[in-house]
Amino acid sequence: MLKLAARLAWRDWRGGELSLLFVALILAITSVTSISLFTHQVKQSMVAQGANLIAADLRLTGSQPISEDWRTKADNLSLQQAQVSQFQAMVFAQEGMQLASIKAVSDSYPLRGELSVGAAAFDLGTVIAQGPKRGEIWPDSRLLSSLNARLNDTIDVGQLSLKISHILITEPDQASGFSSFAPRAMMHLQDLAATAAVQTGSRIKHRWLLAGQADALTGLQASITPLLAPGQKWQSPNDGNANVAATLDKAEQFLLLAGSLAVVLAGVALSLSARRYSLRQAKHVALLKCLGLKPKQLRLLYFSQMILLALLALLISLPLAWGLYQALLWVVADYIQGASLVPPFEPFLLGAGTGTLCLLAFVLPPMLALAKVAPAEVLRQSSSQSKTNKTHLAIGFSAVIALVYWHSQSVLISGALIIGVAIILLLLALLASQLIKAGNKIRPYLSQGGKIGLANLARRKHQNSLQVAIFGLALMLLFSLISVRSFLINDWQQQLKQDTPNLFLFNIYQQQRQSLLDSMEEQGLTTQALTFFPIARARLTEPKLQSRRGSRELNLTWSPDLPIGNRISGGQWWNDGATGLEVSVESDYARDMGLSLGQELTFNIAGIEKKAVLSNLRDVDWSSMQPNFFFVFSEPLVEANSASYMASVYIAPADRPKLGPLLRQQPTISMLDVDQILQQVQRVVAQLSLAVESILVMVLGAGVLVLVASIQASIDERRHESAILRTLGASKALIRRILWVEYASLGFVAGLIAGLGAEALVAVLQQQLFQMPMQFHWPLWVLTPFTGMIIIGACGWWFNRTVVTAPPLRTLQQT
């Protein structure tokens, strides 16, 4: 039977019967596998970037030194190790002294990420492989400026004099929180003892950096965790900078969403091609039954054929996907580094699984149903058109749900897609009947081609509803993707525009504000975008929060106006005439801590208790790189003169050398340089744009395949009709016009509905998934109907060209 199946499959293949089915299957497997490989690599790259943020794959932090036993265990597991000890100490240079945060690092630091150094303060920096050697110290720009020191000067740390060999510009595990803005320096760990700066009882933080195989790391972590002292904790790449992590999450969700769309489209194409194939096979099956093949044997025959087809498709698709993935990597080589040469297994499994599921759900049911074709079918003059089988539809729909969920791993994405599909199908059915009515009204005013084209639309009411649904769905998915890409990347890139703040200034007192502005103007730095935020440190005392996060000291601010980029999600922002102290809380924080609107909160601010009513909740965009606060009060919490301020400002690269003199003029002001974080975020965005554009090409391919499959589904009927029309004297030009009117009208309606569906789907995704404000995309409403008309009209015309060119006699003889 297998031999017969192979022989028949080969003959069908040679006759072109299986080619569309095969191409759809290859496209499904290739797109899913390559997208999955790419997503896998992007995720790896993201984890690597996360690893950069802690300079390791895993990090243990605490105030206790790392035990020798633990280090031996790590050695035995062939893990790379580095040690970092961080403490604060006064440092002295010839012309000054300064309290600085010193990081003493071992030879192998950093295990992940890069160190960059410069020759002068606020240089942009060049990458260096290793930290300072013994006897050297690398002060950062801030410390160098404060000490008024230069390269090759010496700095005393405790009892040890160290030579300035480089200026520290960036370090991978540079903390980006507000607590880490003290001037910094880096030295060698083995010099630490000689400084005598760290004594018993000194505040010192020890970090143990580890890198290597995930299994070994997990094993080590599991064996050491029970032995950890209080205060010692593990940190993984995922615990890195929260802003970057949020961005990476969005990126991953987007790539998975794109992957799901390609699968749905490929599934629709497969389903259509399988339906056409099974319809064309009905006579063959009847004939084979006449020749004595039993239903069981026929089922086995078609099952074997499908298995052979799947194996061949896998054989072609998987290497093709690998090649495509390599091409994608090549495109984004500047952005994704460290791609593994050994292909991960999971994407191939996902691709093969998707292909198998597609085959089982979309292709096999109509194939197996062929065994039910009555042998007497062979005696009939024309093929009886089988009706759409509801069971097959249900199987296909379940498979779509399963595939979308499998690929997105998100109930929300799956739900949004499936609800969108259900709504658009309903709208399509309603609009299809409206189109027919409208078509009937305008038909008398049209030329002959237009009249027959619209009459064809009306005549194939049900079939056209299905085609409009498919075209509309394909277009909706494509335009949703384009819109999502547009708002995710373009809107967000606009948000992170050129003058996004890259420098945060702290410890500014009321009386220093004017002098800071004066100093900046004196140095020729722009002060237009400089915004001051008052800060008071406080603890929330009532209600008492049990979590560590809730009980720690908070940075509070106050403002009469809602901070830029914040959005009220509950309650109301205060009016000018409001009485009593009110507080606005970031909505996620309020939810996590169990705080609710109208609740009275008590804060301890430098020993003074203040009560405030929680009058509103705010949504804060943490990715905006603007100063954001969990708590904003309606009135000042401390006297203006005793308030401390923070400010954010954008410093252009050319202006960076001016920061040294500025900080010398304002020695008490602390600074946090977020340029590195911004560069990281912008790199991810750039990488994402390219990735999405590459994936979009595959989704477009799947969309075109759906068009071709649905054109192929009705081509035999059209060829027959065209032959009759031409026999009756219609010219080729007239038939072309008829086809154009029919397909362009289909495209116009499908595009109109696609615009509506895409707008709705994007609105749901924008609000629910990406937490971005909803926007009305009016170009969609203009663009989609005309795009639909042009794409579908052109595809209809091109793929139906044999309808026009085939000799009518031969067509009539064959049917």
Partner 1 sequence: MPNSTPFLAARNVSQIVANPQATQADDLHILDDVNFTIEAGESVAIVGASGSGKTTLLGMMAGLDSPSHGQLFLANKDLTKLDEEGRAELRKHQVSFIFQKFQLLPSLTAIENIMLPLEVKGSSDANTLATQYLNHVGLAQRGHHYPNQLSGGEQQRVAIARAFAAQAPILFADEPTGNLDTQTGDHIVELLFELNQQHHTTLVLVTHDLNLAQRCQRRLTLNAGQLTERLDA
Residues making contact with partner 1 (CB under 8 A): 4, 7, 11-12, 14-17, 283-284, 287-297, 374-376, 378-379, 381, 810, 813-814
Q: Which is nearer to partner 1, 373 or 761 (CB)?
A: 373
Angle between helical axes of 242-290 and 295-331 (0-180°, round to 10):
150
Pair 413, 481: CB distance under 8 Å: no
Closer residue to partner 1 (CB): 230 or 292: 292
Residue with tokens 């009980």: 551
Residue 258: CB atoms within 10 Å: 27
Strand-pair partners of 208: 60, 83
Give the burial class of 615: count Cβ atoms within 10 A of its Cβ; 0-12 exposed, 13-18 middle, 19 or more buried: buried
Give the number of other CB atoms < 10 A from CB of residue 590. 22
State the sign of the Cα–Cα–Cα–Cα dihedral 740, 742, 746, 749. Answer: positive
Looking at the Cβ atoms of 287 and 458, the one nearer to partner 1 is: 287
Name the token pair of 802: 């044999």
Q: At its nearest, how many Å lie between partner 1 and the CB of residue 683? A: 54
Which one, 288 or 702, has the nearer CB to partner 1?
A: 288
Query: In the chain, how long is the greatest CA-to-CA distance?
Result: 107
Prior bond to 65 cis, omega within 30? no
CA distance 267 to 354: 10
- Given the complex with partner 1, which of 382 and 579 has the nearer CB atom? 382
To the nearest whole angstrom, how small is the minimum distance from the Cβ of residue 811 to partner 1?
A: 10
Which residues partner with 611 through β-bridges? 602
Using alpha carbons only, how large is the chain's radius of gyration in Å?
34
Residue (150 or 284) nearer to partner 1, CB: 284
Strands 136-139 and 204-211: unpaired
Task: Kindly report the number of other CB atoms within 10 A of residue 671's CB atom.
Answer: 20
State which residue, 377 or 655, has the beta carbon closest to partner 1: 377
The residues facing 619 across adjacent strands are 567
Residue whose CB is less far from partner 1, 106 or 815: 815
List all residues 6 or more positions away from 356 whose beta carbon is below 8 Å from its beta carbon. Answer: 310
Return all residues near 652 (Cβ < 8 A) that are at least 6 apart: none
> Where is 648: in which H helix or E strand?
strand 644-649
Q: How far is the CB of 747 from partner 1 (least distance, A)?
A: 31
Cβ contact 171:118 at 8 Å: no
Q: Which two tokens stand for residue 761?
A: 């789907």
Decide if 243 contacts 677 (C-beta within 8 A): yes
The least CB distance from residue 294 to partner 1, in Å, is 4
Question: Nearest approach, Cβ of 354 to partner 1 (angstroms)?
Answer: 29
Q: Which residue number, 375 or 415, has a Cβ lying nearer to partner 1?
A: 375
Which of 9, 399 has the CB closer to partner 1? 9
The residue among 618 and 719 lying less far from partner 1, judged by its C-beta, is 719
Query: Is the bond into 110 cis (omega within 30 degrees of 0)?
Result: yes
Is-contact 574 632, C-beta < 8 A? no
Nearer to partner 1, 446 or 715 (CB): 715
Burial of 583 (0-12, 13-18, 19+ CB in 10 A): buried
Q: Which residue in the block uniquely carries the two structure tokens 């038909």? A: 443
Q: Minimum distance from CB of 304 to partner 1 (Å)?
A: 14
Measured between alpha carbons, how far is 260 from 761 in angstroms, rounded to an integer?
Answer: 14
Q: Is 782 exposed, middle or buried (0-12, 13-18, 19+ CB in 10 A)?
A: exposed
Of residues 641 and 813, the one with the C-beta less far from partner 1 = 813
Write down the least CB distance from residue 334 to partner 1, Å: 49
Measured from the CB atom, the residue of 289 and 720 that comes closer to partner 1 is 289
What Å distances lie between residue 702 and 635, 690, 765, CA to CA?
A: 58, 19, 22
Q: Are 759 and 777 in contact (CB under 8 A)?
A: yes
Q: Is the distance from CB of 47 to CB of 71 less than 8 angstroms?
A: no
- Is-contact 656 510, C-beta < 8 A? no
Specify the residue, 376 or 394, whose C-beta has the smaller distance to partner 1: 376
Would the CA dihedral through 616, 619, 624, 625 be positive or negative?
Answer: positive
